[in-house]
Amino acid sequence: MIELLYFVGFSIFCLLSVILVDSKVFTKKIDPIELSYQEPDEDVLREKIRAVSINRKQLFQTAIVMKDVTKVYDNEIAVKNLTMRIEEGESFGFIGLAGSGKSTVLNILSGETIPNRGGAYYRGRSLITKRKQCQKEIGYCPDASYYDDFTINEYIKVFLMIHGYNRKDVKRMPLEFASAFMFSHHIKKKLKDCSKYTKKKINLSVTLIGCPKLVMIDEPTIGLDPFKSEVIWKIINGMRRSGKTVIISTFSVKEASELCDRIGILCNGELINVGTKSEILSRFGEGWILQIRVNERAMKEAGQSRSLKFFENIDEFVTLSFFGAILREKIGLSIQFFVPITPEIGVRWSRTFRMMEANKERLGIEDYSVSVVNVKEVYLIRTENQAELKPNK
């Protein structure tokens, strides 16, 4: 009798343990690796303060608040100590290279992925403990499609039924979506026979089912040509004008600049810069790029042993002539410098061109160009070490 009771009790304990683990109740308490601390940039620090100093009333009036959100897969950090907030009606873009953590952040905010540590809140409600409740007001458009054997008509109907629409609406609305998003002539096609462009428009239409207040889009135009990208941008800008909060992830700086009020740069799972386009430029873009191409013929005549001297001479000339100049990269016959602009020195374009022309022949320079730093340059500078820093799997 005692053995039977023990067996029953142990079985119940095991069953409860499996249910709790499967429901991810314990996931947020796991801290599989010790995370090293690095002093954040001042813009990231300001954002952290904005997030942690929020009061209860503000929390319920703010679209998204994240506090120390961390996600680890197989001992590799996907997102590290992400602390920030996104306001109601704001359009925010996470930009970064592949593996920077963009998609993971969106998966966490959609409630599809539970962080190992930290808290994420949608309008004051936890995306961890109340994610089902939150998901009713969130539309998520992943960079993938499901149910490829369904026709477009069937695919949209499935999502309408999931959201509880009545039979009449389920029959009527797929045609309305197809007309609004310009894929009416594909309505009877199977998804697997549709182009990436058409699938993206279909998924965007499905994202709006239920009139979500927050819309998240993973890689809106990846793999699309400029014309088709413009169409997708118009659809997203329509969502912005309707008052929805929009969050996108993208590797395209141009896309983020076109669609977003603010931008967050991610590198190795960390937020390394955040702000409006002008704020990021004012902090990191006060400078210009000097691109120099060495004369190939002159290098060949000098011989292999002396060819490196060309780059050394150019490096010495630029660093001595332009205060604070930094060698950015050297690829083939090209060498690139970043030259900061300080309030004391400023920049005199006439002096720059005069000095380059006066020394062009002596240094073996074939041609050169000078350009003002833009957001893309800042992004490349800030993320250039990601591949080197990425931990091994």
**Report field, pTM of the whole predicted structure over 0.85:** no
**Least confident span in 113-127, 206-220, 268-282:** 268-282
| pLDDT range class, residue 142, cuts 50, 70, 90 | confident
pLDDT for res 339? 83
| CA 315 to mean position of chain CA atoms | 34
Structural domain boundaries in the chain: 27-283, 286-373
- Given a cut of 60, whether residue 2 has pLDDT beyond it is no
3-class SS shares of the chain: helix, strand, coil, % to 5: 45, 25, 30
**Rounded to an integer, what distance in angstroms lies between the CA atom of residue 184 and that of residue 174?**
9
Count CA atoms within 13 Å of residue 239 on its CB side.
29
Share above pLDDT 70 across residues of the chain, in percent, rounded to a whole number: 81
| pLDDT range class, residue 322, cuts 50, 70, 90 | confident
pLDDT for res 284? 64
| pLDDT range class, residue 16, cuts 50, 70, 90 | low
- Given a cut of 70, whether residue 389 has pLDDT beyond it is no
User: What is the DSSP annotation of 343-379?
Assistant: TTT---HHHHHHHHHHHTTTTTEEEEEEEE--HHHHH
pLDDT for res 304? 64
pLDDT for res 351? 82
Q: What separation in angstroms does the CA of 375 have from each of 111, 366, 378? A: 31, 28, 5
Share above pLDDT 90 across residues of the chain, in percent, rounded to a whole number: 54
- Given a cut of 50, whether residue 163 has pLDDT beyond it is yes
Measured at the CA of 376, the angle between CA 375 and CA 378, to 5 degrees, comes to: 65
pLDDT for res 270? 93
pLDDT for res 1? 52
pLDDT tens profile 68-98: 999 999 888 999 999 999 999 999 999 988 8
| pLDDT range class, residue 328, cuts 50, 70, 90 | confident
pLDDT for res 148? 85
**Least confident span in 20-34, 135-149, 376-390:** 20-34
- Given a cut of 80, whether residue 193 has pLDDT beyond it is yes
Q: Where are the alpha helices (DSSP H) in 163-266?
A: 167-180, 196-207, 226-241, 253-259
The burial class, CB within 10 Å (0-12 / 13-18 / 19+), for 381 is middle
Q: According to the CATH classification, is domain 286-373 in 3.40.50.720? A: no
pLDDT for res 277? 84
pLDDT tens profile 259-302: 999 999 998 899 998 999 878 776 666 678 889 999 888 777 77
Q: Select from 377, 381, 375, 374 the least CA-distant residue to 267.
A: 381
Unique residue bearing structure tokens 């030259």: 339
Across 232-323, the runs of DSSP E, i.e. the strands, are 245-250, 262-267, 270-275, 287-294
pLDDT tens profile 350-371: 788 889 999 998 898 999 998 7
pLDDT for res 147? 82
| Residue 148 or 114, more confident | 114
Q: What does pLDDT average to over the chain? A: 83
Per DSSP bridges, beta strands 287-294 and 334-340 are antiparallel
Q: Which one is the CATH code of 27-283: 3.40.50.300, 3.40.30.10, 3.40.50.10320, 3.40.50.460?
A: 3.40.50.300
| pLDDT range class, residue 246, cuts 50, 70, 90 | very high
